[in-house]
Amino acid sequence: MKKILVTGGLGFIGSHTAVELQNAGFEVVIIDDLSNAKLEVLNNISKITGKTPEFHQIDLKKKDQVVAFFENNTIDGIIHFAAFKAVGESVQKPLEYYENNIGSLVYLLQEMRDRKLDNFIFSSSCTVYGQADELPITENAPIKPAESPYGNTKQVGEEIIQDTCKANGLNAIALRYFNPIGAHETANIGELPLGVPQNLIPYVTQTAAGIREQLSVFGDDYNTPDGTAIRDYIHVVDLAKAHIAALNRLLSKKNDTNFEVFNVGTGKGSSVLEIVKAFEKATNQNLNYKIVERRAGDITAAYADTTIANEKLNWKTEKTLEEALLSAWKWQTNQV
C-alpha cells in the first residue's frame, strides 16, 4: 500500500482529498498544525471511510519538526495543502504568509531531496492568472503580477518547485484550482470558515441559515451578461479526485516533464446572480441579497479551459453545480 503524506489534511480540500485517497486504496498520513482546522475532522474522515488516517500535529515552518517527521516516516508521495489562505489578511500580514507558506514548502522539498523521496503535488491557484486576457483560461495563459502576498506565495511556490525539479530531479505537479465549493455528500466534512466568511458560497449558506442577515453581491456593473462577476465553481469532491489522478500520473511515471501544471475547474463560468438563483432553486430557500459596490481587487471573469487536465490526468468533473450547492447547504444545516 502506497503511503501518502497530506499536509493540511484536516482543512477543507485536504480532508476531502484524504477521503478520496483512502477510497482509492492509499494509506494516508496527515500533518496539520490545527491553526485553521479542528482535530475532530480526523474522526469525521473515518466516519466516511471507516479508517482513521495517521495524524501528526506538526508546524511545518519549524524545520526541526519537519526533519523529525521524515526521520521516522517513509512516504511515497506528498500532497501539500498546508498554507494560510486569506487574501485580505495576507495584505496585512505579508511576512507571516511568506514565512508559513514558503518556509514550509522549502523544508518539505529539502527533506524530499535529502531522502530521495519523490512525487509532489502542490496546491496552486487560478489567482496566478489574474484577469486573463482570454477566456477560458489555458495553462499557457501568462502569469500576472500577484494581487496579494497570498497570491504571490502561490506564484513563488510554483517557481521554487520548478527550480527544485530542474536541479534535483524531483517530479511534481501543481494544480491550479478555480473556486472550490460544496462538501462531502455525507455532510461529515466541509468548509469551516473562521468568523465572517469572505467567500461567496459560505456567505450564501450562512445567510440562508439566518446567521448573516443579507448577502452583498459585489457589483453588477461588470462587463458580463448580467453585470455580476463570473467564476468557475468546482465541487470539492471533484477537485479532491483530481489530486488522486495527478498522484497516479506521477506514481506511474506518465508525466511528460518533471514539473507540470494543470487547471482544475469545471470549464463553465457562473455569475454571482446565477449562483444565487441556482442555490435558491436547488435548496428551495429564499436568499436575502442586495447589490452593493464592487469589492476591491476582484476580477471580472475567470473560468478554466480543462482540456489538458481532462486528457493528461484522465480526469473530469462528475458533479453538477446544483449538487455542489445542495451539498454546501446540507453541510451548513448539519452544523451546530
For residue 218, state whether it binds ligand WQD (rule: CB under 6 A): yes
Q: With respect to ligand WQD, which residue has the nearer C-beta, 45 or 302?
A: 302
Q: With respect to ligand WQD, which residue has the nearer C-beta, 27 or 274?
A: 274
For residue 324, state whether it binds ligand WQD (rule: CB under 6 A): no
Q: Which single residue is written with the C-alpha cell 522539498? A: 109
Q: What share of the chain is helix, strand, coil (3-state, %, to 5)?
A: 40, 15, 40
Preceding peptide of 136 cis, ω within 30°: yes
For residue 231, state whether it binds ligand WQD (rule: CB under 6 A): yes
Q: With respect to ligand WQD, which residue has the nearer C-beta, 124 or 171?
A: 124
Read off the C-alpha cell for 65.
519538526
For residue 36, state whether it binds ligand WQD (rule: CB under 6 A): no
CA distances from 134 to 76, 139, 155 (A): 38, 11, 20
Q: Which of 295, 311, 318, 334 binds ligand WQD (CB under 6 A)?
A: 295
Q: With respect to ligand WQD, which residue has the nearer C-beta, 111 or 305?
A: 305
Residue nearest ligand WQD by beta-carbon distance: 125
What are φ and ψ of residue 16, in 5° steps? -65, -35
For residue 246, state whether it binds ligand WQD (rule: CB under 6 A): no
Q: Which of 125, 162, 248, 317 binds ligand WQD (CB under 6 A)?
A: 125
Read off the C-alpha cell for 104.
514550509
Alpha carbon distance 135, 261 (integer Å): 18
Q: Which of 163, 298, 311, 322 binds ligand WQD (CB under 6 A)?
A: 298
Q: With respect to ligand WQD, which residue has the nearer C-beta, 6 or 234?
A: 234
From 107, 129, 150, 222, active-site residue: 150
Beta carbons within 8 Å of 70's beta carbon, 6+ residues apart: 111, 115, 117
- Any catalytic annotation for residue 222? no
What are φ and ψ of residue 52, in 5° steps? -95, 120
For residue 200, state whether it binds ligand WQD (rule: CB under 6 A): yes
| Torsion on CA atoms 268, 273, 277, 283, rounded to nearest 10 | 80
Alpha carbon distance 124, 127 (integer Å): 8
For residue 141, state whether it binds ligand WQD (rule: CB under 6 A): no
Q: Which of 49, 52, 216, 320 binds ligand WQD (CB under 6 A)?
A: 216
Alpha carbon distance 303, 178 (integer Å): 7
The set of catalytic residues is 150
Residues that bind ligand WQD (CB under 6 A): 85, 87, 125-127, 179, 198-200, 203, 215-218, 229, 231, 272, 295, 298
